[in-house]
């Protein structure tokens, strides 16, 4: 990416016709291009993705093909592969890279099926393009793209082999593809031709509908730890993040929100000294439309960011504040407790009429309540977006997790056709779900439309913390009964704010799947079970946070399992082993963690260990933590043994790094993470009172990967859910006291 363009050297992709799922496109303008597209959730093979070539903008930095996406559908992109006459192979990357290594994993899949040297693959960030762009979230990128990308690579390989057979004058059966060449033995002499020499011919051949994929036992690139493809740019400083974007003639803006949630602006304030403009910002409603009479923020525009931020500090704005009871942490907690006790629940797993009788008749049982707080995303890179709006077109540069959603947002605000909108995705300095939201994009577009100059809008750190889309707080009550080592009944009740409801994806009274993920379909044998959720309509904005509901429910489930083990007088590993007896895959992960944490049998006095198991995003993870030096205000986490089964590791090094990163992230939240609210405003506004793990506090982390060969699971999020319960259970082992409220060590808000 140079200056304002993510890849200025990349030309427009060819015009795309209507494509059915798993159908391929060939375009042979000097090379071979294979694309794959499908609509997520569509079962019919005849439902096309609507693809359109962009209208020419007359501006060379704009490079995009876009799609009009209905509000109730999602276009999922699978692959865009280019093989050029010079033998180079390019993978157009349609996701968002913020350190999770997806760029590299997808390149490995392509290299494997194309049979090209790993070093020959180049990965380039694509602009928002149908058939390429997809939402990066839910630990879904590699596992959703694996099949289509593997098929695209295999189809290209077979077409190149067919072209090579024709050129070499031998049957296809005598040819093989290896290292970017097609080889055949003719009259005892090995002959070969390169892919680059074959692409023009290959582009004229029919596309195989069911290409033969490589036998996993013969993988040479998949399963290898290879260096991440984007790291050189990050090391040499050429990587461009959102705040690095520079466009000729651009100005800068900073945002200032209402001082409390729910307030709105009363008149446009005067322009502060040193600034050039003040722009009121309207909110988007749940469906992404501009809400009327909803000017909830102001952007101050200046010649540089510092002046814009100074203008925000001196801004003389009047806000209309609702007279209802202010949002306050104590009030919110009391409301949640009331809902937990008497709120109307939505049943997530069927109720059993005899469950209460079974609980009442048990001689050993637990009835415990767990509490987790609101959490901020606290990404190192604050929210930002650069927009160049012109009357007939609009160009956006953003660290976004969903470039296609940005196109839709710009359409709704400007009325422009999708073909007149270009979205460049930059690298992200953290995402964690926050940068899938559209509020910061919409704000930047509104400013650009008003001032008619390229503008970078950024959130000062205080605004980033204070106007987040927080992970919801939740209360969870678990009632369970025992008969020896067997759990005879399990009643699980949770109360939290609906993320999907706030986003307009679920109606009042409907179950929010995000609220109960990690609480339903548990692998344990739990006898009669019932799971229910109570919606908490608290007025705090909530959103997706790394591992979402799993981070809440794994804490409650695994702490409750540990409490049951203690009540039964059984070792925590042995107790889980018995409950997982019918699940061979889960048992294998548990057994591997047992061996990996053999150190726990010889811990010194004052040390404790805890185990937790969680399944999320298609992956199975078991963690064992060791703690020591426990006081009322601190403790040391010495080491964590982590076993993960994600089906198959595309890049084992990336899996290990993501488990390590998830553990570090989870530790910060478990020990100190909390967002409190005072008089309707966030009480935590910067890192001075948002404690995170320091370098010298990072425990030793040992990661073991179990290859089950099952369907691919995600890796970006599954490392987080087991952290809190493993630490809480270790705390009990060391002190004899249970942790049921997070964080373990609350921070002051001063």
Same domain membership, residue 430 and residue 362: no
Enclosing H/E stretch for 335: helix 329-342
Share of the chain above pLDDT 70, in %: 88
Q: What is the pLDDT of residue 324?
A: 64
Enclosing H/E stretch for 232: helix 231-236
What length is written for the chain?
750
Q: What is the pLDDT of residue 130?
A: 83
Last residue of a domain, one of 181, 203, 236: 236
Q: How confident is the model at residue 288 (pLDDT cuts 50, 70, 90)?
A: low
Same domain membership, residue 142 and residue 85: yes
Q: What tens digit of pLDDT does each residue of 221-250 get? A: 999 999 999 999 999 999 999 999 999 999
Q: Distance between CA atoms of 529 and 507, rounded to whole angstroms?
A: 26
Same domain membership, residue 590 and residue 570: yes
Same domain membership, residue 290 and residue 181: no
Enclosing H/E stretch for 729: helix 723-735
Which 3 state secondary structure label does DSSP give 503? Answer: coil
Q: What distances in angstroms separate CA 598 from CA 305, 592, 595, 626, 701, one per listed residue?
A: 54, 10, 5, 11, 14
- Decide if 12 is inside a domain: no
Per DSSP, the residues of 339-365 read HHHHPPPEEEE---TTHHHHHHH-SEE
- Decide if 454 is inside a domain: yes
Last residue of a domain, one of 426, 458, 490: 458
For the whole model, what pTM was predicted? 0.89
Task: Show the domain range for 305.
Answer: 242-321+383-458
Q: What is the pLDDT of residue 43?
A: 27
- Decide if 4 is inside a domain: no
- Decide if 13 is inside a domain: no
Task: Tell me how many helices (H) and strands (E) the chain has.
Answer: 17, 28
Same domain membership, residue 349 and residue 279: no
Last residue of a domain, one of 393, 427, 458: 458
Same domain membership, residue 103 and residue 55: yes
- Decide if 516 is inside a domain: yes
Same domain membership, residue 655 and residue 511: yes
Starting at the edge strand found earlier in the chain, the sheet holding 636-645 runs: 608-616, 619-628, 636-645, 700-705
- Decide if 567 is inside a domain: yes
Instruction: Please tell me which residue, 30 or 355, carries the higher pLDDT value.
Output: 355
Q: What tens digit of pLDDT does each residue of 466-494 get? A: 999 999 999 999 999 999 999 999 999 99
- The residues that bridge with 19 in the sheet, in sequence order, are 49
Share of the chain above pLDDT 90, in %: 80
Q: Distance between CA atoms of 383 and 379, rounded to whole angstroms?
A: 9
- What CATH number should be reported for the domain holding residue 102? 3.30.365.10
Tokens for 127? 């602009």
Q: What tens digit of pLDDT does each residue of 169-190 get? A: 999 999 999 999 999 998 889 9
Residue 543 pLDDT greater than 80, yes or no = yes
- Decide if 742 is inside a domain: no
Q: Nearest Cα to 742, choosing from 554, 592, 573, 580?
A: 554
Same domain membership, residue 247 and residue 195: no
Q: What distances in angstroms separate CA 579 from CA 110, 574, 582, 609, 746, one per listed residue?
A: 40, 9, 8, 20, 34
Same domain membership, residue 633 and residue 536: yes
Q: Distance between CA atoms of 514 and 536, rounded to whole angstroms?
A: 14
- Decide if 3 is inside a domain: no
Lowest-pLDDT range of 121-130, 425-434, 448-457, 741-750? 741-750
Q: How confident is the model at residue 380 (pLDDT cuts 50, 70, 90)?
A: very high
Q: Is 27 exposed, middle or buried (0-12, 13-18, 19+ CB in 10 A)?
A: middle
Same domain membership, residue 365 and residue 300: no
Q: How confident is the model at residue 85 (pLDDT cuts 50, 70, 90)?
A: confident
Lowest-pLDDT range of 198-212, 450-464, 717-731? 198-212
Half-sphere exposure of 545 (CA within 13 A, CB side): 28
> Total domain count for the chain?
3
Same domain membership, residue 635 and residue 699: yes
CA angle 560, 140, 623 (to 5 degrees): 35
Tokens for 67? 């799609």
Q: In the predicted model, what is the mean pLDDT of the chain?
A: 88
Per DSSP, the residues of 34-47 read EEEEEETT---TT-
Q: Distance between CA atoms of 99 and 379, rounded to whole angstroms?
A: 12
Same domain membership, residue 163 and residue 68: yes
């Amino acid at each position: 990416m140079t200056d304002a363009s993510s890849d200025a050297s990349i030309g427009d992709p060819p015009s795309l016709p209507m494509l059915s799922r798993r159908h391929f496109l060939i375009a042979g303008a000097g090379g071979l291009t294979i694309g794959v597209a499908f609509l997520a959730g569509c079962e019919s093979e005849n439902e096309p993705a609507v693809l359109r070539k962009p209208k020419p903008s007359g501006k060379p930095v704009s490079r995009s093909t876009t799609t009009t996406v209905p509000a109730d559908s999602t276009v999922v992109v699978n692959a865009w592969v280019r093989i050029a006459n010079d033998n180079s192979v390019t993978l157009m990357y349609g996701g968002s890279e913020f350190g999770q290594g997806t760029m590299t994993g997808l390149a490995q899949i392509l290299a494997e099926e194309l049979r090209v040297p790993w070093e020959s693959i180049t990965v380039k960030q694509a602009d928002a393009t149908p058939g390429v762009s997809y939402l990066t979230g839910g630990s879904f990128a590699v596992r959703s793209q694996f099949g289509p990308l593997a098929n695209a690579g295999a189809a290209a390989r077979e077409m190149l082999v067919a072209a090579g057979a024709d050129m070499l004058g031998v049957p296809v059966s005598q040819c093989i593809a290896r290292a970017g060449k097609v080889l055949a033995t003719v009259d005892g002499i090995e002959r070969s031709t390169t892919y680059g020499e074959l692409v023009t011919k290959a582009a004229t051949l029919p596309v195989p509908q069911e290409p033969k994929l490589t036998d996993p036992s013969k993988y040479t690139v998949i399963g290898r730890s290879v260096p991440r493809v984007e790291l050189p740019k990050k090391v040499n400083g050429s990587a461009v993040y959102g705040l690095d974007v520079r466009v000729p003639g651009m100005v800068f803006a900073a945002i200032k929100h209402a001082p409390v949630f729910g307030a709105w602006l009363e008149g446009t304030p005067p322009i502060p000294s040193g600034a050039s403009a003040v722009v009121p910002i309207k909110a988007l409603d749940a469906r992404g439309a501009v809400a009327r009479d909803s000017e909830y923020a102001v952007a101050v525009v200046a010649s540089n960011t510092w002046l814009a931020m100074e203008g925000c500090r001196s801004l003389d704005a009047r806000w209309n504040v609702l007279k209802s009871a202010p949002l306050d942490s104590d009030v919110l907690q009391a409301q949640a407790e009331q809902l937990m006790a008497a709120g109307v629940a939505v049943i997530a797993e069927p109720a059993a009429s005899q469950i209460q009788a079974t609980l009442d008749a048990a001689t050993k049982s637990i009835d415990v309540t767990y509490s987790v707080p609101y959490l901020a995303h606290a990404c190192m890179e604050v929210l930002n977006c650069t927009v160049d709006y012109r009357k007939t077109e609009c160009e956006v540069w953003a660290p976004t997790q969903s470039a296609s959603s940005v196109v839709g947002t710009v359409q709704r605000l400007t009325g422009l056709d999708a073909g007149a909108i270009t979205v460049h995705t930059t690298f992200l300095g953290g995402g964690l779900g926050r940068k899938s939201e559209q509020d910061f994009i919409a704000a930047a577009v509104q400013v650009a439309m008003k001032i008619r100059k390229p503008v970078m809008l950024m959130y000062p750190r205080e605004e980033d913390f204070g106007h987040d889309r927080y992970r919801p707080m939740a209360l969870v009550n678990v009632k369970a009964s025992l008969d020896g080592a067997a759990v005879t009944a399990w009643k699980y009740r949770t109360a939290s704010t609906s993320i999907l409801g706030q986003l307009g994806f679920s109606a009042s009274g409907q179950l929010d799947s995000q609220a109960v993920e990690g609480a339903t379909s548990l692998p344990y044998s739990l006898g009669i079970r019932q799971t229910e959720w109570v919606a908490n309509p608290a007025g705090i904005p909530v959103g997706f946070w790394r591992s979402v509901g799993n981070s809440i429910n794994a804490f409650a489930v695994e702490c409750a399992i540990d409490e049951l083990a203690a009540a039964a007088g059984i070792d925590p590993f042995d107790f889980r082993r018995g409950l997982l007896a019918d699940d061979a895959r889960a048992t294998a992960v548990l057994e591997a963690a047992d061996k990996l944490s053999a150190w726990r049998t010889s811990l010194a006095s004052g040390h404790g260990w805890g185990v937790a198991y969680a399944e999320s995003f298609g992956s199975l993870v078991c963690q064992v933590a060791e703690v020591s030096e426990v006081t009322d205000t601190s403790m040391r986490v010495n080491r964590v043994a982590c076993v993960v089964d994600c089906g198959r590791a595309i890049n084992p090094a990336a899996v290990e790094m993501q488990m390590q990163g998830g553990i570090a992230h989870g530790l910060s939240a478990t020990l100190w993470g909390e967002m409190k609210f005072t008089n309707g405003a966030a009480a935590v506004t910067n890192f001075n009172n948002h404690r995170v793990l320091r370098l010298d506090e990072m425990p030793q982390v040992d990661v073991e990967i179990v290859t089950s060969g099952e369907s691919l699971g995600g890796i970006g999020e599954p490392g987080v859910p087991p952290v809190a319960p493993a630490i809480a259970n270790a705390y009990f082992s060391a002190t004899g006291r249970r942790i049921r409220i997070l964080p373990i060590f609350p921070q002051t808000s001063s």
